Amino acid sequence: MAAADSFYITTPIFYVNDVPHIGHAYTEVAADVLARWHRQRGDDTWLLTGTDEHGQKILRTAVANDTTPQAWADRLVESAWLPLLETIDIRNDDFIRTTEPRHETAVATFLQKLYDDGHIYSGEYEGYYCVGCEEYKQLDDLLETEDGDYAGQLVCKIHGRPVELLKEKNYFFRMSAFEQKLLDLYENTPGFVQPASVRNEIIQFVKQGLADLSISRSSFDWGIKVPWDDSHVVYVWFDALLNYITAIGYGVGASDKPDEQFQRRWPAVHIVGKDIARFHAVIWPAMLMAAGLEVPKAVFGHGWLLVGGEKMSKSKLTGIAPSQITDTFGSDAFRYYFLSAIAFGQDGSFSWEDLSARYQAELANGFGNLASRVVAMVTRYFDGAVPSVDIDPKIATLEKRVTDEANTAIGSFAINEALAVIWQLVDALNLYITENEPWALAKDPAAKARLEHVLASAVHGLGTLAVLLSPVLPKAAARLWEALGGQGELDAQPIDRAWAWTGAGQVTPLETSLFPRIEQDVTV
């Protein structure tokens, strides 16, 4: 059993059939912010991300590009997926690839255990298969098109492409045996699947009855060999889901003595797109139950990013590369925009106009201008020495309330709500400066004590903001922390006591604004 203060969080592992778009980056950033927050709260935190490199889709993509699946995966990981983490400032603790020996060996160990324990049997299966989803589909998951290139064909509702009718002799996982156990899990642990909309969908799906799951393929060979029958490879989802435990040492030690890292980390919180919540909230816990392992702490299925009213898609040319945004606005603005503009758990629409407007209003004019003005006034009126006086009780009370409420919101995955609460402090400090007019107080020698009080209060509020915003705006918050003379490393400050930070008493002018104004046209 993992320690009570363990916080192990994962992203999905992403297919390497193409380069990442902002939908992938959105998931990465959300998980990263949650991980950074928990680290600063003192939790034993571990963030895992990685790539899924087996399956028919990868094989076909590689063949279409006149290369091998392994060479294709190696190239995409090095040229696109690892650079993505740097582009959007992800501080992951591990990166798992399903072609790594540590993963492949542990998958075979897990599968053999289920086979030995009677959870796997051989049989024949015929059904509609979507290569894009790497999944057999029910008729409810399909549409019959009436026009266009695929007129008269059954297409996947998610990918909009025709499915294939496959008939294979496969190995099956007795998933149907876990139907009631899963329903009991959802009822007894309401927070296991979040948000409520995804939870309700999962419950209804399981109540309709679970079929056994085909977990091997014999029509192609790009995958992990089934340990007792090397004419079959493991179904890509059965393989991929196991990354969450293979990355932390499952299968490394003796069966009666689990790896120390596994004991320390598991169970995890999974952040996934809602379209793959079913795999994580149905198949995955059933697999773990069969193996006698704990189920995850939680599965959170966030919404889709929509462009032009549709889910982002490379095939529909709506995929936007993260660098298209970060090259102009920077990684901090990317992180802030997607986590503040979209209610985490719901679908959200992206537009260049909204991004630009929020950047100017909230980051440049709101937070950035506040920081520049306060530091400049302390420098001008007190040679950079922060007055050693008590801060305004109203500001102090607000700092503590904002800290507490933001911390509570993060605990329930409500990242956008946490940011909205934190921005109450940004807005309050801007109003505080406007109402108290330090520039006017500075002209009146009799008002010096008042000036000291106002600017000391503003500086303290800014320090609290630096701590609270460091998981979301790591670059800007670090610059502000340094300018304020904060003591110690910023990411070592207890975020659940952000209001209790201490400074060195001397500010250093910001050479440039935290968020420079962007004049160029970014709407095309």
Which residue in the list 21, 270, 274, 453 is annotated as catalytic?
A: 21
Structure tokens at 416: 């956008």
Can you tell me the distance from the alpha carbon of 455 to that of 429, in angstroms, rounded to the nearest whole number? 10
Task: Please answer whether residues 122 and 172 qualify as being in contact, where contact means their C-beta atoms are separated by less than 8 angstroms.
Answer: yes
- Whether 207 is catalytic is no
- Whether 460 is catalytic is no
Give the CA distances from residue 394 to residues 7, 447, 473, in Å, rounded to whole numbers and listed in that order. 34, 20, 26
Strand pairing of 229-234 and 216-217? antiparallel
Which residue in the list 113, 225, 311, 475 is annotated as catalytic?
A: 311
Can you tell me the distance from the alpha carbon of 70 to that of 249, in angstroms, rounded to the nearest whole number? 23
Can you tell me the distance from the alpha carbon of 271 to that of 268, in angstroms, rounded to the nearest whole number? 10
Which residue in the list 54, 57, 103, 133 is annotated as catalytic?
A: 133
Whether the CA torsion 259, 260, 263, 267 is positive or negative: it is negative
Coil, helix or strand for 214?
strand
Which residue in the list 157, 167, 207, 314 is annotated as catalytic?
A: 314
Which residue in the list 57, 103, 130, 297 is annotated as catalytic?
A: 130
Task: Please answer whether residues 518 and 329 qualify as being in contact, where contact means their C-beta atoms are separated by less than 8 angstroms.
Answer: yes
Can you tell me the distance from the alpha carbon of 28 to that of 154, in angstroms, rounded to the nearest whole number? 33
Residue 61 sits at the vertex; the CA angle it makes with 55 and 66, to the nearest 5 degrees, is 125
Q: Could you tell me the end-to-end alpha-carbon distance of the chain, in angstroms, rounded to an integer?
A: 52
Treating both helix axes as pointing N-terminal to C-terminal, what angle do 331-341 and 474-484 enclose, rounded to 10 degrees? Answer: 110
Coil, helix or strand for 162?
strand
- Whether 130 is catalytic is yes
Which residue in the list 38, 57, 137, 156 is annotated as catalytic?
A: 156
- Whether 181 is catalytic is no
Residues annotated catalytic, as ranges: 21, 24, 130, 133, 156, 159, 311, 314
